[in-house]
Amino acid sequence: MSNLIGPGSTIGILGAGQLGRMLASVARRMGYRIAVFGGDDSSPTGQLSDLSWPGNYDDADALAEFARAADVVTYEFENIPAPAAARIAEITPLCPGAALLTAAQNRFKEKTALTSIGLPVAPFRMVHSGDELAAARAEFGDCILKANTDGYDGKGQWSVSDETDVVALWEETGIPEAVVEKKVSFDFELSAIGGRYRDGQKAFYAPFLNHHENHILDVTISAATQVTPELEKRATEMAAAVLDHFEVIGVLCIELFLTTDGQLIVNEIAPRPHNSGHLTIEAYNCSQFELQLRTICNLPSVNLERTAPASAMANLLGQHLPSEWTTDAFSCVGTQPNLHLYGKAGAKTNRKMGHLTITADSPDEAERSVRKTRDQLTA
């Protein structure tokens, strides 16, 4: 993959959700074709694609057909079976590679990899039974039980305290193994998003401040005053270490906690663009999706620069949308908040249906405005 993969080539996307849709939007604007695996023409990514394979990841023939149709393949979510990734990599370049994918979809492997390169994480251990969970609680005190695989947006996580019946909880989960993490006290969460090119050159966005509701990202703020120059430097160095360790070609995000004693620790890795980076579409000269395209296609690198003093992004979940889109609903959005809807049918509670972004002169103003606008949608 030493040569440029130019316009007219086909970008293969594993996964058919909103992250793939936003990558497809950028790629089509820049003259690329899109092939998607894992969703049909009605999926968020499929709606913008030239070719689609609804098939499952156990279908080796369909995977091979998809891989042959693409000049390079990337992914928009990490729960892809390792054999499927390996099958594709045999045929066409897969970016980022299988090593990062394997680590990111297994919490224990991920945290072990992070500690091996000197990055701090919350104390953790693997457990396989209620007795081992009890031993972990005795060691850590209050802790969090997390499914070792397949967890996201708070799913597959359970809080454990002195009052928890750990044997009953373990039976209730029905999982064969899990990671237990010591519960840490933290002031806020940051996300550091960056990309790495084929020649090792890297580019980073200034870290974003994140607020969650019910374990789901709610609002992200760019240029937040809490993100001091020192914090930005530390977070960027940590993201760079992950990019280099896994020899990433593409984009990734590391989610970070600033603990109450001032330590910056890694929560987890997302080996792809991240929900918190959606505001880069309006707030930067190059969005995280264009950066993804540039890195995987060996396009010229760019210096990432803010195009507004501050910005904020609010997720639009099913409960945030009007029951019916009307002129009044669109009027409250206006022209300044940048409305993105993902083309999903069925606005279910806590389902990510879209997002709003507002740019402003200050982070406080941006956050207030984006929250107010979202509230008006269902007023």
Using the predicted structure, report yes or no on whether residue 89 has a pLDDT greater than 60. yes
For residue 306, name the pLDDT band (cuts at 50, 70, 90).
very high
Q: What does the alpha-carbon distance between residue 23 and residue 96 come to, in Å, rounded to a whole number? A: 15
**CATH number for region 186-377:** 3.30.470.20
Tens of pLDDT, residue by residue over 158-211, are: 999 999 999 999 999 999 999 999 999 999 999 999 999 999 999 999 999 999
Confidence (pTM): 0.95
C-beta separation of 272 from 75 below 8 A? yes
Q: What is the pLDDT of residue 1?
A: 44
Distance of CA 262 to the CA centre of its chain: 25
**CATH number for region 123-182:** 3.30.1490.20
Task: Find the distance separating the first CA and the last CA of the chain, reported in whole Å.
Answer: 51
C-beta separation of 95 from 296 below 8 A? yes
Q: Residue 309 phi/psi, 5° resolution?
A: -60, -40
CATH class belonging to 10-94: alpha beta
Domain ranges of the chain: 10-94, 123-182, 186-377
Q: What percent of the chain has pLDDT over 90?
A: 84
Tens of pLDDT, residue by residue over 311-349, are: 999 999 999 999 888 888 888 877 767 999 999 988 899
Q: Which residues contact 165 (CB under 8 A, 6 or more apart)?
A: none
Using the predicted structure, report yes or no on whether residue 107 has a pLDDT greater than 50. yes
C-beta separation of 266 from 124 below 8 A? no
Q: Which residues contact 46 (CB under 8 A, 6 or more apart)?
A: 16, 36, 39, 40, 52
Q: What does the alpha-carbon distance between residue 363 and residue 308 come to, in Å, rounded to a whole number? A: 10
Q: What is the pLDDT of residue 93?
A: 96
Q: Which residues contact 137 (CB under 8 A, 6 or more apart)?
A: 143, 160, 162, 164, 166, 180
Peptide bond into 207 cis (omega under 30): no
Helical residues (DSSP H) of 246-333, grouped into ranges: 280-283, 288-297, 327-333
Q: What does the alpha-carbon distance between residue 126 and residue 129 come to, in Å, rounded to a whole number? A: 10
Tens of pLDDT, residue by residue over 2-42, are: 589 999 999 999 999 999 999 999 999 999 999 999 999 99
